A and B are shown apart, each in its own frame.
Chain A
Protein backbone atom coordinates (compact mmCIF):
# COMPACT_ATOMS: atom_id res chain seq x y z
CA UNK A 1 0.00 0.00 0.00
CA UNK A 2 2.79 2.36 0.85
CA UNK A 3 4.15 2.03 -2.63
CA UNK A 4 0.85 3.37 -3.97
CA UNK A 5 1.13 6.44 -1.78
CA UNK A 6 4.62 6.94 -3.07
CA UNK A 7 3.67 6.58 -6.74
CA UNK A 8 4.67 9.81 -8.50
CA UNK A 9 2.04 11.67 -10.50
CA UNK A 10 2.63 11.34 -14.19
CA UNK A 11 1.92 14.06 -16.72
CA UNK A 12 -0.97 11.94 -17.86
CA UNK A 13 -2.37 12.02 -14.33
CA UNK A 14 -1.91 15.76 -14.17
CA UNK A 15 -3.78 16.29 -17.41
CA UNK A 16 -6.47 13.85 -16.33
CA UNK A 17 -7.06 15.52 -12.97
CA UNK A 18 -6.69 18.99 -14.46
CA UNK A 19 -9.31 18.19 -17.08
CA UNK A 20 -11.55 16.77 -14.39
CA UNK A 21 -11.17 19.91 -12.30
CA UNK A 22 -12.10 22.14 -15.27
CA UNK A 23 -15.05 19.93 -16.19
CA UNK A 24 -16.40 19.95 -12.64
CA UNK A 25 -15.91 23.69 -12.47
CA UNK A 26 -17.83 24.17 -15.71
CA UNK A 27 -20.56 21.85 -14.44
CA UNK A 28 -20.84 23.73 -11.18
CA UNK A 29 -21.00 27.03 -13.04
CA UNK A 30 -23.66 25.73 -15.40
CA UNK A 31 -25.79 24.32 -12.59
CA UNK A 32 -25.54 27.31 -10.31
CA UNK A 33 -28.53 29.64 -10.09
CA UNK A 34 -29.92 32.50 -8.07
CA UNK A 35 -26.49 33.47 -6.81
CA UNK A 36 -27.38 37.13 -7.22
CA UNK A 37 -25.08 40.09 -6.64
CA UNK A 38 -23.12 42.25 -9.02
CA UNK A 39 -21.34 40.55 -11.87
CA UNK A 40 -18.71 43.30 -11.99
CA UNK A 41 -15.15 42.60 -10.97
CA UNK A 42 -14.37 43.17 -7.32
CA UNK A 43 -12.89 46.58 -6.51
CA UNK A 44 -10.66 47.82 -3.72
CA UNK A 45 -10.15 51.42 -2.61
CA UNK A 46 -11.52 54.65 -4.03
CA UNK A 47 -10.61 54.28 -7.68
CA UNK A 48 -12.98 56.05 -10.08
CA UNK A 49 -15.72 53.92 -11.51
CA UNK A 50 -14.90 52.04 -14.68
CA UNK A 51 -16.27 53.56 -17.87
CA UNK A 52 -17.49 50.95 -20.28
CA UNK A 53 -16.15 51.69 -23.75
CA UNK A 54 -18.81 52.16 -26.39
CA UNK A 55 -19.64 49.08 -28.39
CA UNK A 56 -19.42 50.59 -31.85
CA UNK A 57 -20.55 48.67 -34.87
CA UNK A 58 -17.96 47.49 -37.40
CA UNK A 59 -19.59 47.26 -40.80
CA UNK A 60 -18.55 47.61 -44.42
CA UNK A 61 -18.70 51.40 -44.25
CA UNK A 62 -16.32 51.44 -41.29
CA UNK A 63 -13.86 49.24 -43.18
CA UNK A 64 -13.98 51.50 -46.24
CA UNK A 65 -13.58 54.66 -44.14
CA UNK A 66 -10.59 53.05 -42.46
CA UNK A 67 -9.09 52.28 -45.86
CA UNK A 68 -9.56 55.91 -46.93
CA UNK A 69 -7.92 57.08 -43.72
CA UNK A 70 -4.86 54.90 -44.31
CA UNK A 71 -4.45 56.19 -47.85
CA UNK A 72 -4.68 59.79 -46.70
CA UNK A 73 -2.24 59.06 -43.87
CA UNK A 74 0.23 57.79 -46.46
CA UNK A 75 -0.24 61.05 -48.36
CA UNK A 76 0.43 62.99 -45.15
CA UNK A 77 3.61 60.98 -44.53
CA UNK A 78 4.94 61.71 -48.00
CA UNK A 79 4.01 65.38 -47.85
CA UNK A 80 5.75 65.69 -44.49
CA UNK A 81 8.83 64.00 -45.92
CA UNK A 82 8.90 66.34 -48.91
CA UNK A 83 8.63 69.31 -46.56
CA UNK A 84 11.73 68.26 -44.60
CA UNK A 85 15.08 69.61 -45.72
CA UNK A 86 17.02 67.03 -47.70
CA UNK A 87 14.85 64.17 -46.46
CA UNK A 88 14.01 62.99 -49.96
CA UNK A 89 16.82 62.80 -52.53
CA UNK A 90 16.02 64.90 -55.59
CA UNK A 91 15.98 61.80 -57.78
CA UNK A 92 13.24 60.24 -55.67
CA UNK A 93 10.89 63.24 -55.67
CA UNK A 94 9.01 62.24 -58.87
CA UNK A 95 8.44 58.78 -57.39
CA UNK A 96 7.08 60.22 -54.15
CA UNK A 97 4.84 62.62 -56.06
CA UNK A 98 3.53 59.75 -58.17
CA UNK A 99 2.78 57.68 -55.08
CA UNK A 100 0.95 60.62 -53.49
CA UNK A 101 -1.28 60.78 -56.56
CA UNK A 102 -1.95 57.05 -56.40
CA UNK A 103 -2.80 57.11 -52.70
CA UNK A 104 -5.16 60.01 -53.33
CA UNK A 105 -6.73 58.02 -56.16
CA UNK A 106 -7.21 54.97 -53.97
CA UNK A 107 -8.64 57.14 -51.17
CA UNK A 108 -11.11 58.61 -53.66
CA UNK A 109 -12.15 55.12 -54.78
CA UNK A 110 -12.66 54.03 -51.17
CA UNK A 111 -14.69 57.20 -50.56
CA UNK A 112 -16.86 56.45 -53.59
CA UNK A 113 -17.47 52.91 -52.33
CA UNK A 114 -18.23 54.28 -48.85
CA UNK A 115 -20.96 56.52 -50.20
CA UNK A 116 -22.26 53.74 -52.44
CA UNK A 117 -22.62 51.64 -49.28
CA UNK A 118 -24.66 54.39 -47.66
CA UNK A 119 -21.91 55.86 -45.50
CA UNK A 120 -20.19 59.19 -45.14
CA UNK A 121 -16.82 59.24 -46.90
CA UNK A 122 -13.75 59.75 -44.71
CA UNK A 123 -11.66 62.60 -46.07
CA UNK A 124 -8.80 63.01 -43.58
CA UNK A 125 -5.97 61.01 -42.06
CA UNK A 126 -6.36 58.21 -39.54
CA UNK A 127 -6.30 59.95 -36.13
CA UNK A 128 -4.94 56.94 -34.25
CA UNK A 129 -2.12 56.29 -36.73
CA UNK A 130 -1.20 59.97 -36.89
CA UNK A 131 -1.11 60.36 -33.13
CA UNK A 132 0.48 57.05 -32.15
CA UNK A 133 2.67 56.14 -35.12
CA UNK A 134 3.34 58.84 -37.70
CA UNK A 135 3.73 61.75 -35.29
CA UNK A 136 6.23 60.05 -32.95
CA UNK A 137 8.24 58.59 -35.84
CA UNK A 138 8.52 61.92 -37.64
CA UNK A 139 9.52 63.54 -34.37
CA UNK A 140 12.27 60.95 -33.92
CA UNK A 141 13.45 61.36 -37.49
CA UNK A 142 13.80 65.11 -37.09
CA UNK A 143 15.46 64.88 -33.68
CA UNK A 144 19.15 65.55 -33.20
CA UNK A 145 21.45 63.13 -31.41
CA UNK A 146 21.89 63.84 -27.72
CA UNK A 147 25.11 63.34 -25.78
CA UNK A 148 26.07 63.88 -22.15
CA UNK A 149 29.13 65.17 -20.36
CA UNK A 150 30.13 62.39 -17.98
CA UNK A 151 32.83 61.41 -15.53
CA UNK A 152 34.75 58.31 -16.51
CA UNK A 153 36.90 56.23 -14.17
CA UNK A 154 40.56 56.72 -14.95
CA UNK A 155 40.02 59.99 -16.82
CA UNK A 156 40.98 63.28 -15.14
CA UNK A 157 38.82 65.41 -17.44
CA UNK A 158 35.06 65.09 -18.08
CA UNK A 159 34.26 63.09 -21.17
CA UNK A 160 31.60 63.27 -23.85
CA UNK A 161 29.33 60.26 -24.36
CA UNK A 162 27.19 60.18 -27.49
CA UNK A 163 25.83 57.39 -29.70
CA UNK A 164 27.94 54.71 -28.08
CA UNK A 165 31.17 56.67 -28.24
CA UNK A 166 32.90 58.02 -25.13
CA UNK A 167 35.89 60.32 -25.45
CA UNK A 168 37.26 63.83 -25.04
CA UNK A 169 34.84 66.72 -25.39
CA UNK A 170 35.01 67.86 -28.99
CA UNK A 171 32.79 69.39 -31.64
CA UNK A 172 33.04 66.50 -34.06
CA UNK A 173 32.70 62.86 -33.02
CA UNK A 174 33.33 59.94 -35.34
CA UNK A 175 30.76 57.25 -34.59
CA UNK A 176 32.30 54.58 -36.80
CA UNK A 177 34.46 54.73 -39.88
CA UNK A 178 31.54 53.46 -41.96
CA UNK A 179 28.85 55.72 -40.51
CA UNK A 180 30.94 58.88 -40.30
CA UNK A 181 30.81 61.75 -37.84
CA UNK A 182 28.35 64.00 -36.06
CA UNK A 183 28.87 67.65 -35.14
CA UNK A 184 27.83 69.55 -32.04
CA UNK A 185 24.94 71.93 -32.63
CA UNK A 186 25.84 74.19 -29.68
CA UNK A 187 29.25 75.44 -28.45
CA UNK A 188 30.97 73.12 -25.98
CA UNK A 189 33.15 75.75 -24.25
CA UNK A 190 31.57 75.83 -20.81
CA UNK A 191 29.95 72.43 -20.49
CA UNK A 192 30.06 70.57 -17.17
CA UNK A 193 29.41 67.03 -16.02
CA UNK A 194 25.72 66.28 -16.40
CA UNK A 195 25.16 68.75 -19.24
CA UNK A 196 23.24 67.60 -22.27
CA UNK A 197 24.82 68.28 -25.64
CA UNK A 198 22.98 68.22 -28.96
CA UNK A 199 24.60 66.86 -32.11
CA UNK A 200 23.55 66.68 -35.73
CA UNK A 201 22.36 63.39 -37.21
CA UNK A 202 24.72 61.30 -39.25
CA UNK A 203 24.98 62.10 -42.93
CA UNK A 204 22.07 60.62 -44.89
CA UNK A 205 20.46 59.35 -41.68
CA UNK A 206 17.26 61.35 -42.17
CA UNK A 207 16.65 60.20 -45.77
CA UNK A 208 17.35 56.60 -44.69
CA UNK A 209 14.77 56.87 -41.90
CA UNK A 210 12.22 58.48 -44.20
CA UNK A 211 12.75 55.68 -46.72
CA UNK A 212 12.32 53.03 -44.02
CA UNK A 213 9.09 54.69 -42.90
CA UNK A 214 7.81 54.90 -46.47
CA UNK A 215 8.55 51.22 -47.15
CA UNK A 216 6.99 50.19 -43.86
CA UNK A 217 3.89 52.25 -44.53
CA UNK A 218 3.47 50.85 -48.06
CA UNK A 219 3.85 47.30 -46.74
CA UNK A 220 1.36 48.12 -43.99
CA UNK A 221 -1.13 49.54 -46.47
CA UNK A 222 -0.77 46.49 -48.70
CA UNK A 223 -1.33 44.20 -45.71
CA UNK A 224 -4.30 46.27 -44.52
CA UNK A 225 -6.03 46.09 -47.90
CA UNK A 226 -5.30 42.36 -47.99
CA UNK A 227 -7.14 41.93 -44.69
CA UNK A 228 -9.93 44.29 -45.72
CA UNK A 229 -10.46 42.31 -48.94
CA UNK A 230 -11.54 39.34 -46.90
CA UNK A 231 -13.33 41.36 -44.23
CA UNK A 232 -15.72 43.28 -46.44
CA UNK A 233 -18.97 41.75 -47.59
CA UNK A 234 -19.20 44.03 -50.64
CA UNK A 235 -17.79 42.28 -53.70
CA UNK A 236 -16.89 45.54 -55.45
CA UNK A 237 -14.99 46.68 -52.36
CA UNK A 238 -13.22 43.31 -52.17
CA UNK A 239 -11.87 43.81 -55.68
CA UNK A 240 -10.88 47.41 -54.92
CA UNK A 241 -9.00 46.31 -51.79
CA UNK A 242 -7.23 43.56 -53.75
CA UNK A 243 -6.17 46.07 -56.40
CA UNK A 244 -4.96 48.51 -53.75
CA UNK A 245 -3.04 45.75 -51.97
CA UNK A 246 -1.23 44.88 -55.20
CA UNK A 247 -0.51 48.52 -56.01
CA UNK A 248 0.93 49.25 -52.59
CA UNK A 249 3.00 46.07 -52.70
CA UNK A 250 4.48 47.45 -55.93
CA UNK A 251 5.21 50.76 -54.19
CA UNK A 252 6.96 48.95 -51.34
CA UNK A 253 8.95 46.80 -53.76
CA UNK A 254 10.18 49.76 -55.79
CA UNK A 255 11.08 51.75 -52.67
CA UNK A 256 13.05 48.75 -51.38
CA UNK A 257 15.39 49.06 -54.36
CA UNK A 258 16.45 52.46 -53.01
CA UNK A 259 17.45 51.02 -49.65
CA UNK A 260 20.72 49.46 -50.83
CA UNK A 261 23.61 50.73 -52.96
CA UNK A 262 23.06 47.77 -55.30
CA UNK A 263 19.32 47.54 -55.95
CA UNK A 264 19.57 43.88 -56.94
CA UNK A 265 20.46 43.13 -53.30
CA UNK A 266 16.92 44.17 -52.42
CA UNK A 267 15.12 41.92 -54.90
CA UNK A 268 14.34 39.15 -52.42
CA UNK A 269 14.93 38.31 -48.80
CA UNK A 270 17.79 35.86 -48.19
CA UNK A 271 15.48 34.24 -45.64
CA UNK A 272 13.52 32.80 -48.58
CA UNK A 273 16.52 30.68 -49.53
CA UNK A 274 17.63 29.80 -46.02
CA UNK A 275 19.91 32.80 -45.58
CA UNK A 276 20.25 35.15 -42.67
CA UNK A 277 18.92 38.71 -42.72
CA UNK A 278 20.99 41.06 -40.60
CA UNK A 279 20.21 44.73 -39.97
CA UNK A 280 22.19 47.34 -41.87
CA UNK A 281 25.03 49.43 -40.44
CA UNK A 282 22.51 51.85 -38.90
CA UNK A 283 20.76 48.87 -37.24
CA UNK A 284 17.77 49.38 -39.53
CA UNK A 285 15.84 46.26 -40.55
CA UNK A 286 16.45 45.37 -44.18
CA UNK A 287 13.71 45.77 -46.76
CA UNK A 288 13.18 43.57 -49.78
CA UNK A 289 10.84 43.71 -52.74
CA UNK A 290 9.94 40.04 -52.25
CA UNK A 291 10.14 39.57 -48.52
CA UNK A 292 7.99 36.46 -48.15
CA UNK A 293 6.18 33.83 -50.18
CA UNK A 294 2.76 35.08 -49.11
CA UNK A 295 2.04 38.74 -48.42
CA UNK A 296 2.49 39.25 -44.70
CA UNK A 297 0.02 40.90 -42.37
CA UNK A 298 2.22 40.67 -39.27
CA UNK A 299 3.40 43.78 -37.46
CA UNK A 300 6.22 45.71 -39.10
CA UNK A 301 9.13 47.01 -37.04
CA UNK A 302 11.35 49.92 -38.01
CA UNK A 303 13.99 52.01 -36.28
CA UNK A 304 13.82 55.79 -36.40
CA UNK A 305 15.84 58.66 -35.04
CA UNK A 306 19.40 58.83 -33.74
CA UNK A 307 20.91 56.29 -31.39
CA UNK A 308 20.85 57.00 -27.67
CA UNK A 309 23.94 57.19 -25.43
CA UNK A 310 24.58 53.51 -26.12
CA UNK A 311 23.69 53.94 -29.79
CA UNK A 312 20.45 52.00 -29.35
CA UNK A 313 17.76 53.32 -31.67
CA UNK A 314 14.04 53.48 -30.91
CA UNK A 315 11.88 50.79 -32.47
CA UNK A 316 8.38 51.45 -33.73
CA UNK A 317 5.78 48.82 -34.53
CA UNK A 318 3.23 49.28 -37.27
CA UNK A 319 0.15 47.09 -37.24
CA UNK A 320 -2.77 46.75 -39.58
CA UNK A 321 -5.98 48.46 -38.42
CA UNK A 322 -7.73 46.92 -35.44
CA UNK A 323 -10.39 47.96 -32.96
CA UNK A 324 -8.48 51.02 -31.78
CA UNK A 325 -7.64 52.39 -35.23
CA UNK A 326 -10.81 51.71 -37.18
CA UNK A 327 -12.68 54.77 -38.41
CA UNK A 328 -16.09 54.15 -36.89
CA UNK A 329 -19.23 55.77 -38.23
CA UNK A 330 -19.41 57.85 -35.05
CA UNK A 331 -16.11 59.60 -35.89
CA UNK A 332 -15.87 62.75 -37.93
CA UNK A 333 -13.00 64.59 -39.59
CA UNK A 334 -14.35 67.80 -38.07
CA UNK A 335 -14.12 66.50 -34.50
Chain B
Protein backbone atom coordinates (compact mmCIF):
# COMPACT_ATOMS: atom_id res chain seq x y z
CA UNK B 1 0.00 0.00 0.00
CA UNK B 2 1.42 3.39 -1.02
CA UNK B 3 0.91 5.69 1.93
CA UNK B 4 2.28 8.73 0.13
CA UNK B 5 -0.36 8.43 -2.55
CA UNK B 6 -3.02 7.68 -0.03
CA UNK B 7 -2.50 10.77 2.13
CA UNK B 8 -3.67 13.42 -0.33
CA UNK B 9 -6.71 11.31 -1.12
CA UNK B 10 -7.44 11.02 2.55
CA UNK B 11 -7.15 14.81 2.92
CA UNK B 12 -9.55 15.34 0.06
CA UNK B 13 -12.05 12.96 1.54
CA UNK B 14 -11.58 14.50 4.95
CA UNK B 15 -12.35 17.95 3.52
CA UNK B 16 -15.32 16.55 1.62
CA UNK B 17 -16.46 14.84 4.78
CA UNK B 18 -16.06 18.06 6.71
CA UNK B 19 -18.18 19.94 4.17
CA UNK B 20 -20.78 17.20 4.34
CA UNK B 21 -20.84 17.30 8.10
CA UNK B 22 -21.01 21.07 8.25
CA UNK B 23 -23.69 20.94 5.59
CA UNK B 24 -25.75 18.49 7.58
CA UNK B 25 -25.25 20.55 10.71
CA UNK B 26 -26.32 23.63 8.75
CA UNK B 27 -29.40 21.88 7.44
CA UNK B 28 -30.21 20.81 10.95
CA UNK B 29 -29.97 24.43 12.01
CA UNK B 30 -32.24 25.53 9.17
CA UNK B 31 -34.71 22.83 10.10
CA UNK B 32 -34.64 24.01 13.70
CA UNK B 33 -35.30 27.56 12.55
CA UNK B 34 -38.29 26.44 10.50
CA UNK B 35 -39.84 24.77 13.49
CA UNK B 36 -40.43 28.19 15.05
CA UNK B 37 -44.16 28.82 15.34
CA UNK B 38 -45.15 31.36 12.72
CA UNK B 39 -48.88 31.09 13.20
CA UNK B 40 -50.56 34.33 14.11
CA UNK B 41 -53.89 32.57 14.17
CA UNK B 42 -53.07 30.29 17.07
CA UNK B 43 -56.07 29.83 19.28
CA UNK B 44 -56.03 32.18 22.26
CA UNK B 45 -56.75 29.19 24.46
CA UNK B 46 -54.28 26.85 22.78
CA UNK B 47 -52.83 25.84 26.10
CA UNK B 48 -56.19 24.59 27.28
CA UNK B 49 -57.52 22.94 24.12
CA UNK B 50 -56.22 19.43 23.48
CA UNK B 51 -54.94 18.64 20.04
CA UNK B 52 -56.12 15.07 19.71
CA UNK B 53 -59.79 14.11 20.10
CA UNK B 54 -60.86 13.60 23.69
CA UNK B 55 -62.98 10.71 24.87
CA UNK B 56 -66.12 12.82 24.51
CA UNK B 57 -65.06 13.88 21.01
CA UNK B 58 -64.55 10.26 20.05
CA UNK B 59 -68.05 9.36 21.15
CA UNK B 60 -69.48 11.99 18.82
CA UNK B 61 -67.04 11.29 16.00
CA UNK B 62 -67.87 7.61 16.09
CA UNK B 63 -71.41 8.57 15.10
CA UNK B 64 -70.04 10.94 12.46
CA UNK B 65 -68.17 8.04 10.84
CA UNK B 66 -71.47 6.17 10.62
CA UNK B 67 -73.23 9.14 9.03
CA UNK B 68 -70.52 9.72 6.44
CA UNK B 69 -70.34 6.02 5.60
CA UNK B 70 -74.11 5.90 5.18
CA UNK B 71 -74.14 8.89 2.83
CA UNK B 72 -71.28 7.46 0.80
CA UNK B 73 -73.16 4.17 0.63
CA UNK B 74 -76.27 5.93 -0.66
CA UNK B 75 -74.34 7.54 -3.52
CA UNK B 76 -72.80 4.15 -4.34
CA UNK B 77 -76.27 2.62 -4.35
CA UNK B 78 -77.27 5.28 -6.86
CA UNK B 79 -74.26 4.50 -9.01
CA UNK B 80 -75.13 0.79 -8.87
CA UNK B 81 -78.70 1.49 -9.90
CA UNK B 82 -77.50 3.43 -12.92
CA UNK B 83 -76.79 7.07 -13.65
CA UNK B 84 -76.27 8.81 -16.98
CA UNK B 85 -72.62 9.06 -18.00
CA UNK B 86 -72.62 12.84 -17.60
CA UNK B 87 -73.63 12.48 -13.94
CA UNK B 88 -71.50 9.48 -13.00
CA UNK B 89 -68.49 11.70 -12.34
CA UNK B 90 -70.11 14.09 -9.91
CA UNK B 91 -72.02 11.33 -8.09
CA UNK B 92 -68.80 9.34 -7.82
CA UNK B 93 -66.93 12.35 -6.43
CA UNK B 94 -69.58 12.86 -3.76
CA UNK B 95 -69.47 9.15 -2.83
CA UNK B 96 -65.66 9.28 -2.59
CA UNK B 97 -65.65 12.52 -0.59
CA UNK B 98 -68.00 11.17 2.07
CA UNK B 99 -65.95 8.00 2.32
CA UNK B 100 -62.84 10.16 2.72
CA UNK B 101 -64.54 12.04 5.57
CA UNK B 102 -65.31 8.78 7.38
CA UNK B 103 -61.72 7.66 6.86
CA UNK B 104 -60.29 11.00 7.99
CA UNK B 105 -62.32 10.91 11.19
CA UNK B 106 -61.25 7.32 11.66
CA UNK B 107 -57.63 8.32 11.21
CA UNK B 108 -57.97 11.15 13.72
CA UNK B 109 -59.67 9.05 16.35
CA UNK B 110 -58.27 5.59 15.85
CA UNK B 111 -61.81 4.28 15.48
CA UNK B 112 -62.52 1.85 12.67
CA UNK B 113 -64.12 3.32 9.57
CA UNK B 114 -65.18 -0.11 8.38
CA UNK B 115 -67.40 -1.24 11.23
CA UNK B 116 -69.46 1.89 11.64
CA UNK B 117 -72.51 2.63 9.56
CA UNK B 118 -75.73 4.49 10.23
CA UNK B 119 -78.20 1.97 8.85
CA UNK B 120 -81.23 4.01 9.90
CA UNK B 121 -80.05 6.93 7.80
CA UNK B 122 -79.24 4.66 4.86
CA UNK B 123 -82.62 2.92 5.03
CA UNK B 124 -84.50 6.20 5.28
CA UNK B 125 -82.99 7.55 2.06
CA UNK B 126 -82.30 4.42 0.01
CA UNK B 127 -85.55 4.42 -1.97
CA UNK B 128 -85.24 8.07 -2.93
CA UNK B 129 -81.58 7.71 -3.85
CA UNK B 130 -82.32 4.79 -6.16
CA UNK B 131 -85.55 6.30 -7.54
CA UNK B 132 -86.09 8.82 -10.32
CA UNK B 133 -83.48 11.44 -11.11
CA UNK B 134 -85.48 14.18 -9.43
CA UNK B 135 -86.08 12.05 -6.35
CA UNK B 136 -82.38 11.34 -6.17
CA UNK B 137 -81.33 14.99 -6.55
CA UNK B 138 -83.86 16.12 -3.94
CA UNK B 139 -82.90 13.42 -1.47
CA UNK B 140 -79.19 13.99 -2.03
CA UNK B 141 -79.64 17.75 -1.55
CA UNK B 142 -81.56 17.10 1.65
CA UNK B 143 -78.98 14.73 3.06
CA UNK B 144 -76.08 17.08 2.23
CA UNK B 145 -77.89 19.96 3.90
CA UNK B 146 -78.59 17.73 6.88
CA UNK B 147 -74.92 16.77 7.06
CA UNK B 148 -73.90 20.44 7.01
CA UNK B 149 -76.42 21.28 9.75
CA UNK B 150 -75.21 18.32 11.79
CA UNK B 151 -71.54 19.28 11.54
CA UNK B 152 -72.31 22.90 12.42
CA UNK B 153 -74.27 21.70 15.43
CA UNK B 154 -71.52 19.33 16.53
CA UNK B 155 -68.65 21.77 16.07
CA UNK B 156 -69.75 23.58 19.21
CA UNK B 157 -69.45 20.36 21.22
CA UNK B 158 -65.92 19.35 20.30
CA UNK B 159 -63.12 19.83 22.76
CA UNK B 160 -60.10 19.12 20.55
CA UNK B 161 -58.42 21.12 17.84
CA UNK B 162 -58.36 18.16 15.47
CA UNK B 163 -62.10 17.56 15.70
CA UNK B 164 -62.86 21.25 15.11
CA UNK B 165 -60.44 21.66 12.20
CA UNK B 166 -61.54 18.48 10.48
CA UNK B 167 -65.22 19.28 10.86
CA UNK B 168 -64.74 22.80 9.49
CA UNK B 169 -62.95 21.45 6.43
CA UNK B 170 -65.68 18.88 5.78
CA UNK B 171 -68.84 20.94 6.21
CA UNK B 172 -67.80 23.59 3.67
CA UNK B 173 -67.36 20.98 0.94
CA UNK B 174 -70.67 19.35 1.84
CA UNK B 175 -72.22 22.79 1.36
CA UNK B 176 -70.61 22.82 -2.10
CA UNK B 177 -72.14 19.38 -2.78
CA UNK B 178 -75.54 20.79 -1.85
CA UNK B 179 -75.07 23.74 -4.22
CA UNK B 180 -74.31 21.39 -7.12
CA UNK B 181 -77.33 19.25 -6.30
CA UNK B 182 -79.55 22.33 -6.09
CA UNK B 183 -78.33 23.24 -9.56
CA UNK B 184 -79.10 19.75 -10.83
CA UNK B 185 -82.58 20.15 -9.35
CA UNK B 186 -82.98 23.38 -11.28
CA UNK B 187 -83.35 25.51 -8.15
CA UNK B 188 -82.95 29.24 -8.72
CA UNK B 189 -84.27 30.47 -5.38
CA UNK B 190 -81.33 32.00 -3.50
CA UNK B 191 -83.03 31.23 -0.18
CA UNK B 192 -82.70 27.53 -0.97
CA UNK B 193 -79.29 27.69 -2.64
CA UNK B 194 -77.64 29.73 0.11
CA UNK B 195 -79.85 28.74 3.03
CA UNK B 196 -80.29 25.55 4.98
CA UNK B 197 -83.62 24.60 6.49
CA UNK B 198 -82.57 21.09 7.43
CA UNK B 199 -82.11 20.25 11.08
CA UNK B 200 -79.12 18.49 12.52
CA UNK B 201 -79.25 14.78 13.12
CA UNK B 202 -79.47 13.88 16.77
CA UNK B 203 -76.41 12.07 17.99
CA UNK B 204 -77.86 9.87 20.70
CA UNK B 205 -75.97 7.88 23.28
CA UNK B 206 -76.67 4.75 21.25
CA UNK B 207 -75.19 6.27 18.11
CA UNK B 208 -72.19 7.61 19.89
B20 near A238 with CB under 8 A, answer: no
A233 near B44 with CB under 8 A, answer: yes
- Asked whether A153 is an interface residue with its Cβ less than 8 Å from the other chain, the reply is no
Q: Bound complex: CA of A251 vs CA of B29, how far in Å?
A: 45
- Asked whether A76 is an interface residue with its Cβ less than 8 Å from the other chain, the reply is no
Interface string of B28-54 (1 = CB under 8 A from A): 110000000000111111001100000
Which chain A positions have C-beta within 8 A of B155?
229, 238-239, 242
* A-binding segment of B6-14, B73-81, B126-134, B135-143: B6-14
- Asked whether A25 is an interface residue with its Cβ less than 8 Å from the other chain, the reply is yes
Interface size class of A (residues with CB under 8 A): 35 or more
Within 8 A of A (CB), among B145-160: 148, 151-152, 155-156
For residue A251, which residue of chain B has the nearest CB?
B194
B164 near A229 with CB under 8 A, answer: yes
- Shortest Cβ gap from A93 to chain B (Å): 13
Interface string of A92-126 (1 = CB under 8 A from B): 00110010001000000000000000000000000
- Shortest Cβ gap from A294 to chain B (Å): 4
Q: Bound complex: CA of A321 vs CA of B39, how far in Å?
A: 10
Interface string of A271-291 (1 = CB under 8 A from B): 011000000000000000111
A228 near B28 with CB under 8 A, answer: no
Within 8 A of B (CB), among A295-335: 295, 297, 321-323, 326
A250 and B194 in contact, given A60-B44, A294-B104 (Cβ under 8 angstroms): yes
B175 near A226 with CB under 8 A, answer: no
Q: Which residues of B contact A (CB under 8 A)?
A: 1-3, 6-7, 9-10, 13, 16-17, 20-25, 27-29, 40-45, 48-49, 86, 89-90, 92-94, 96-97, 100, 104, 148, 151-152, 155-156, 161, 164-165, 167-180, 183, 190, 193-194, 196
Q: Bound complex: CA of A5 vs CA of B179, how far in Å?
A: 70
B40 near A9 with CB under 8 A, answer: no
A17 and B97 in contact, given A2-B2, A295-B172 (Cβ under 8 angstroms): no
Given contacts A3-B1, A229-B164, 18 further A-B contacts (CB under 8 A): A5-B10, A9-B13, A25-B25, A226-B169, A232-B43, A233-B48, A235-B156, A239-B152, A242-B152, A242-B168, A246-B174, A246-B196, A250-B194, A253-B179, A253-B180, A289-B183, A294-B100, A295-B172
A257 and B17 in contact, given A18-B25, A272-B93, A295-B172 (Cβ under 8 angstroms): no
Select A13's contact among B17, B48, B156, B170, beta carbons within 8 Å: B17
Instruction: Write 30 A-B pairs (CB below 8 A) sorted by A numbering.
Output: A2-B1, A5-B7, A5-B9, A5-B13, A6-B9, A6-B10, A9-B16, A9-B20, A58-B41, A226-B168, A230-B164, A231-B44, A242-B151, A246-B152, A246-B171, A246-B175, A247-B175, A250-B175, A251-B194, A252-B176, A267-B180, A268-B180, A273-B89, A290-B177, A290-B180, A291-B176, A293-B96, A293-B173, A295-B173, A322-B41
Select B13's contact among A6, A233, A293, beta carbons within 8 Å: A6
- Shortest Cβ gap from B37 to chain A (Å): 12
Main DSSP-derived SS at the A contact region: helix
Select A231's contact among B6, B41, B178, beta carbons within 8 Å: B41
A238 and B156 in contact, given A226-B169, A247-B194, A293-B173 (Cβ under 8 angstroms): yes
- Asked whether A135 is an interface residue with its Cβ less than 8 Å from the other chain, the reply is no
Select A2's contact among B6, B21, B90, B152, beta carbons within 8 Å: B6
Which chain A positions have C-beta within 8 A of B10?
2, 5-6
A22 near B28 with CB under 8 A, answer: yes
Counted as pairs of residues, one from A and one from B, with CB atoms less than 8 Å apart, the total is: 190
B96 near A272 with CB under 8 A, answer: yes
Q: Which 9 pairs across A and B sit closest by C-beta, in order of nearness?
A: A18-B24, A5-B10, A295-B172, A323-B40, A233-B45, A9-B17, A253-B179, A246-B175, A2-B6
- Asked whether A161 is an interface residue with its Cβ less than 8 Å from the other chain, the reply is no
